[in-house]
Amino acid sequence: MFKQKIYLGLSLAGFCVALVSCNIPKEIQKTENKQTPGSYGSNSADTLNSGKIRWKTFFTDPNLNNLIDTALTRNQELQITLQELEIAKSEIRLKQGQLLPSVGVRAGVGLEKVGRYTSQGAGDASTEITPGREMPDPLPDYLLGVYGNWEVDVWHKLHNAKKAAVSRYLSSVEGKNFVVTNLVAEIANSYYELLALDNQLAIVKQNIELQNNALEVVKAQKEASRVTELAVRKFSAEVLNTQSLQFNIQQQITETENKINFLLGRFPQPIVRSSTNFNDLVPSEIHAGVPSQLLANRPDVKQAELALAAAKLDVKAARAEFYPSLGISASIGLQAFDPGYLVKFPESMLYSLAGELVAPLINRNGIKAEYTKANAEQIQAVYNYERTILNAYVEVANQMANISNSQKSYDLKTKQVSELTQSIDISNDLFRAARADYLEVLMTQRDALEAKLELIETKKQQMNAMVNIYQALGGGWN
């Protein structure tokens, strides 16, 4: 008889599974494209990769390294990202807990009064606990027990949800690494910008001194009636223009210092930096490696890959919702209307064991909507992963070209500055000998100043290109 009940239960369970399985949508998996070109344009496929170098080794300026160290401990955006990691960890613990049985302890005290002319009231009135002792009325109730519920993960719905949570945590870790690479690169670029502004300010101050000397010469020429008041006014106006430029650069220095302080999570204060000639800086040698290394080096690519893995697991978990869920519940404890009877065993003992199979039958629209959403998010994650790989390749290719072109531009600018610097002395000599107009002197000084400032700007572009390609190759987070 007992076996027949078991067979009947299994038959009903099989019928439920077959019934709900008739209209389950097929699982759709979109395969991502991980293929990358063999090299960056015409560059050779060198497997050496600068992105694997630790930032403390890559950047040789101790002042810059101290700034980065401070930022990694105090930057607010990074601290916010670290809290997101804690949130992702909690999600893993939540999903892990759903795999285990839920067990609790129950203790209760109650009082019940039923009508005398009811089946329970009539039964209690005619029942004696011991000879001569009737059931109490009203009836107390004392309970102490342990109960548990467990959903058996037959279709791996809960396991896939847990794996998805783990993938999202690992994706958050890579997201944190990506924030670090951006932070390191932003501080380095701002630091080199600060050095460039310092050198531009020094050049402007030197030029003001030269212009003042030229102004005194023009004034003497005017006293000798060799030039007019117009020449004096022109030279004086040029000095004032350059002095105005000095204060513009000083304002940029202040803003750049404050930007670095903000990245370091502190209030404005002076930034300790190198005082060497900015033009003497030499960018670190860069090895781009091969494009396929971006898949393992760049945190944003790994983040997108792990997010895609989580999205695929979400589809499996959502699809498992169409199948019946098997739940097991059990309880064991002691119950009596008198506390003294709780210790009388086994009369006061209670226990239960039940299993239930719950399957969605009619209202499946919600489950279908959740599955459709998970599937769309999976396809979205595929495109995001492919876009991230493409963006990584383009960034490296752009910076490789930037390094080459900025070096060529710097070489030409250096020659231009040399020529114009010599032209200043020549124009001054010619002016004193009345063989050149004062406008030629002014234009020569102005062109030389602009060329020197542009030379500093080009050197800054070189240093920024070095930082940016290091970041693009996946460097800076380790």
Q: Which of 33, 16, 348, 296 is nearest to 177 (CA)?
A: 296
CA angle, residues 196, 201, 203, in degrees to nearest 5: 95
Cα–Cα dist 274/292, whole Å = 37
Q: Which CATH architecture has domain 32-99+166-303+363-472?
A: Up-down Bundle (1.20)
Q: Which of 101, 98, 94 is nearest to 169 (CA)?
A: 94
Q: Residue 174: is it exposed, middle or buried by C-beta count within 10 angstroms (0-12/13-18/19+)?
A: buried
Tokens, residue 373:
């959403």
Confidence of residue 23 (pLDDT cuts 50, 70, 90): low
pLDDT in tens, 329-362: 999 998 888 888 888 888 888 999 988 888 776 6
Q: Walk across the sheet containing 349-358 and list its strands.
A: 102-112, 139-152, 325-336, 349-358
Q: How many residues does the chain have?
A: 478
Least confident of 263-267, 323-327, 363-367, 455-459: 363-367
What pTM did the predictor assign? 0.85
SS3 state of residue 358: strand
> Half-sphere exposure of residue 75, counting CA atoms within 13 Å on the CB side?
23
pLDDT in tens, 77-103: 999 999 999 999 999 998 888 888 888
Cα–Cα dist 288/232, whole Å = 56
* Residue 219 neighbours by CB distance under 10 Å: 16
413-430: average pLDDT: 90
132-137: average pLDDT: 76
* Residue ranges covered by each domain of the chain: 32-99+166-303+363-472
Greatest mean pLDDT range, 97-101, 301-305, 437-441: 301-305
Q: Say if residues 415 and 460 touch (Cβ distance below 8 Å).
A: no
